[in-house]
Amino acid sequence: MSVKTTGRSSAVPFIILFFIILISCLFFFTGIYTVSPLPDDKPALIIENTVLLDDTPFIIENNQVLLSYNIIKEHLDPYIFWDATENKITITTFDKTVRLATESLTAMINTKPVEISFPVKTVITQPYIPIRLLEDLYEIKVRVVQNKDRIVIDKNLPTRKMGKIITDDAIVKLSPTWFSASVVKITKIDDLTVYSLEDGWFQVRTQDGLIGYIPEKKLEVFDMPEKPHSKPDQQRHSPARGKLNMVWDYIHKVTPDKSQETVPLGLDIVSPTWFSVIDGQGTIESKADISYIEWAHKNDLAVWALINNDFNLDITHEFLSSSETRDKIIRQILMYAELFRLDGINIDFENVYLKDKDLLVQFVRELTPILREAGIVVSMDVTVKSTSPNWSLCYDRKELGKVVDYMILMAYDEHWATSPVSGSVASIGWVDRGVSALLEDVPSEKVILGLPFYTREWEETPTESGSTAVKSRALSMAQVKQILEKNETRMSWDEKAGQNFAYYQKGDSIFKIWLEDERSIELKTALIKKYHLAGAASWRKGFEEPEIWNVLYNNLKLPSKI
């Protein structure tokens, strides 16, 4: 039997040969066809393995490289601040606040003048900043690619992945595939920075800043150690043992003589209410007294002086809006801190426009490095989270928490002075929820729990319309004790509030008090151990009964019995 050979079967070898030739041609042409991923007719900025070509990322004048503000803000430092009105740039790091004025050869670093080799320039719509100044501030390495309009920026890392090819030469491909166009041919002597591994191909960057891909099997990858930049140790007051125990000391007009006053057991820090920013031009009113400092230090107390914003919305908006005025305030604070040998500053800015939220962060970012360099602890007071724009939403707790040494949660005024309904100043559930909410944004070791030494007496009176008129007054613990003794009060334990509840009647009015006492303070300070907080701060000195200090000492200073 004979078998006929069909035309189809005889064509198969030719088809296979055709595809072999075609594939060979593709390999040949993609091997010799070179495409540069970077254009030659416009400047290119390469930050690690990111190529930036939009607009004008940098300019070069008189052999000096200046980087654009927008590029810096988007890729290197989201906190850099440009005051377009005053033509000033502010850069803040862990321990430095740098102010740069355009066209000036003098920079201010932590309030000290420093000469720079080339000024900031404004080109069209944004400033350009000398790159030499940025290298140390941002811990970066900057390299100009010779004969190319190209800058390469690397971040300082503990180790960096580097690579060398294991063959005599190799082609860097535009994408991770054999059929991709070639970028450049390299040899064994070429150093490559290695990034990700994708489907058997390493993404690499050449010394000239060209980015492409090399097969995994052709590359030897190794870790190259780099000298890390060490940040200075953070200056903090540390108690002898246990948690921090702080109290605010309200100073009305004149600082009283403390020389004969005995320090309560376990107290670490006093915060006298000494300073206020009283106008939009940044004038600071001071009630500071050196004899108070001497008394405190003699008794091993740190002094974290409080500065407030006069709780005035418009004044605060005016001074926060000006770089020059913020700088003026910061210089005054530093002067007072050094003059009076302060150990810390407590920022108590309340009642701030929501629109000034970012400016408040900027002020704290500018202030903190300068105080930190002087060894001064920075703490900031914030309210419990709520929907109030000017009393709660105005705080960017997450960003502020990154900057300050401590954040103090003012866990009181759950029912405030003009509250339409009577209630506790700080019920235990409300305080617990307030702490939990803050810990979503701020590390527990930075959080200090603010405790109330005061309470409110509420008076509820029926009106002719059938509603109830409510008013209140703030009382110290001693004043509450006197009221309980003078009136026929009924008292019971309010489990939900975690407080003793007292009430009595006079005429048509009913008086209610949710007491702050040993038992309520005991419950609140237990939250410090529960959430591993830094300690407690109490408002205010003189409103407590002596036994409260024993509660604080037992809960903050003695080791847990559990």
Domain that holds residue 74: 44-155
Tokens 């054999």 sit at which residue? Answer: 178
**Looking at the structure, do residues 251 and 400 belong to the same domain, yes or no?**
yes
Q: Is residue 132 part of a domain?
A: yes
Q: Is residue 321 part of a domain?
A: yes
**Looking at the structure, do residues 256 and 389 belong to the same domain, yes or no?**
yes
- Check if the beta carbon of residue 533 is closer than 8 Å to that of residue 447: yes
Residues in the chain, total: 562
Name the domain count of the chain.
Answer: 2
Task: Please give the model's pTM, rounded to 2 decimal places.
Answer: 0.88
- Check if the beta carbon of residue 477 is closer than 8 Å to that of residue 540: no
pLDDT at 151: 94
Beta-strand pair 490-494/499-506: antiparallel
**Looking at the structure, do residues 127 and 252 belong to the same domain, yes or no?**
no
**pLDDT (tens place) for every residue of the chain, 562 residues total:** 444 445 555 565 656 555 555 455 444 444 455 787 887 778 999 999 999 987 789 998 888 899 999 999 999 999 999 999 999 999 999 999 999 998 888 888 888 888 787 789 988 789 999 988 888 889 999 999 988 889 999 999 999 999 999 999 999 999 999 889 999 999 999 999 999 999 999 999 999 999 999 999 999 999 999 765 554 444 444 455 789 999 999 999 999 999 999 999 999 999 999 999 999 999 999 999 999 999 999 999 999 999 999 999 999 999 999 999 999 999 999 999 999 999 999 999 999 999 999 999 999 999 999 999 999 999 999 999 999 999 999 999 999 999 999 999 999 999 999 999 999 999 999 999 999 999 999 999 999 999 999 999 999 999 999 999 999 999 999 999 999 999 999 999 999 999 999 999 999 999 999 999 999 999 999 999 999 999 999 999 999 999 999 999 999 998 865 4
Q: Is residue 432 part of a domain?
A: no
Domain boundary among 113, 129, 155: 155
Which CATH number do you get for residue 358? 3.20.20.80
Which CATH number do you get for residue 64? 3.30.457.10
**Looking at the structure, do residues 265 and 142 belong to the same domain, yes or no?**
no
- How far is 429 from 498, CA to CA, in rounded Å? 8
**Looking at the structure, do residues 262 and 396 belong to the same domain, yes or no?**
yes
**Looking at the structure, do residues 260 and 147 belong to the same domain, yes or no?**
no
Q: Is residue 260 part of a domain?
A: yes
pLDDT at 444: 98
The closest of 376, 368, 362 to 325, measured between CA atoms, is 362
DSSP string, 49-93: TEEE-SS-SEEEETTEEEEEHHHIIIII-TT-EEETTTTEEEEE-
Q: Is residue 24 part of a domain?
A: no
Domain boundary among 139, 155, 171: 155
**Looking at the structure, do residues 145 and 293 belong to the same domain, yes or no?**
no
**Looking at the structure, do residues 273 and 126 belong to the same domain, yes or no?**
no
- Check if the beta carbon of residue 489 is closer than 8 Å to that of residue 515: no
Q: Which amino acid is at 416?
A: W
Q: Is residue 182 part of a domain?
A: no
- Check if the beta carbon of residue 245 is closer than 8 Å to that of residue 561: no
What phi and psi, each to the nearest 5 degrees, are found at residue 392? -140, -50
**Looking at the structure, do residues 254 and 380 belong to the same domain, yes or no?**
yes
**Looking at the structure, do residues 255 and 355 belong to the same domain, yes or no?**
yes
**Looking at the structure, do residues 404 and 267 belong to the same domain, yes or no?**
yes
Domain boundary among 347, 379, 410: 410
**Looking at the structure, do residues 149 and 280 belong to the same domain, yes or no?**
no
Q: Is residue 525 part of a domain?
A: no
Q: Is residue 483 part of a domain?
A: no
pLDDT at 125: 86
DSSP helix, strand, coil percent of the chain (3-state; round to 5):
30, 35, 40
